Amino acid sequence: ILPACIYYADNPHVQQIAYGLLGFAAFSMIAMFISSSRNVYDLQERGQFTTISVLNFVGIIYFRWIIAVPGIYWFFYEEWNGMTMGIKILMVTYLIVFKIFDLFMLLFCASQIHGFMFGGKALKKPTKISIASLKRSPSVPIDLIRMCSAPVF
């Protein structure tokens, strides 16, 4: 989209497409930064994670469907006759791939929200030992662990 933004810099529909795509990119990066630092198994942080997932779902709908898509369609409507056949095929292919990706991401976010809000996703801690489980503080106090261990002389 950036080469189109450079060539059609004065076109308001291309600017609307860029605002939709870049607005969602900025929003999703902030949401990903916040959600990646959350412990899903802690109840309070699980609520924050669910809230960020809902906001990400709303952000996809707003930025990519409400802002970007009308800009794409109006751009095609106004510029279709001036494009060569190769550019037309490229733009239609881009639109199809764009919408398939949006639909996939929308379904993924919806299933993630449903799993956290209504399903039993992340209610039980995994029993598998992982790097993240080794970094967590132990549930038994360190002093109690030292008292139960054999003395070293």
Question: What pLDDT, in 10s, does the model give residues 97-106?
Answer: 988 998 998 9
Count of beta carbons in the 10 Å neighbourhood of residue 29: 10
28 closest CA partner among 82, 90, 108: 108
pTM: 0.65
pLDDT given at position 107: 92
Residue 150 structure tokens? 């054999």
Q: Does the structure show a pLDDT above 60 at 146?
A: no
**pLDDT tens-place string over residues 6-57:** 677 788 888 888 888 888 889 888 888 877 776 666 666 777 778 888 888 8
Mean pLDDT of the chain: 79
Choice among 29-43, 75-89, 107-121 with the minimum mean pLDDT: 29-43
The three-state DSSP-derived secondary structure of the chain is CHHHHHHCCCCHHHHHHHHHHHHHHHHHHHHHHHHCCCCCCCHHHHHHHHHHHHHHHHHHHHHHHHHHHHHHHHHHHHHHHHCCHHHHHHHHHHHHHHHHHHHHHHHHHHHHHHHHHCCCCCCCCCCCCCHHHHHCCCCCCHHHHHHHCCCCC
Angle at 18 between CA 13 and CA 19, to 5 degrees: 95
Task: Tokens for 16, please give them.
Answer: 């609307």
Rg over alpha carbons for the chain, rounded to the nearest Å, is: 24
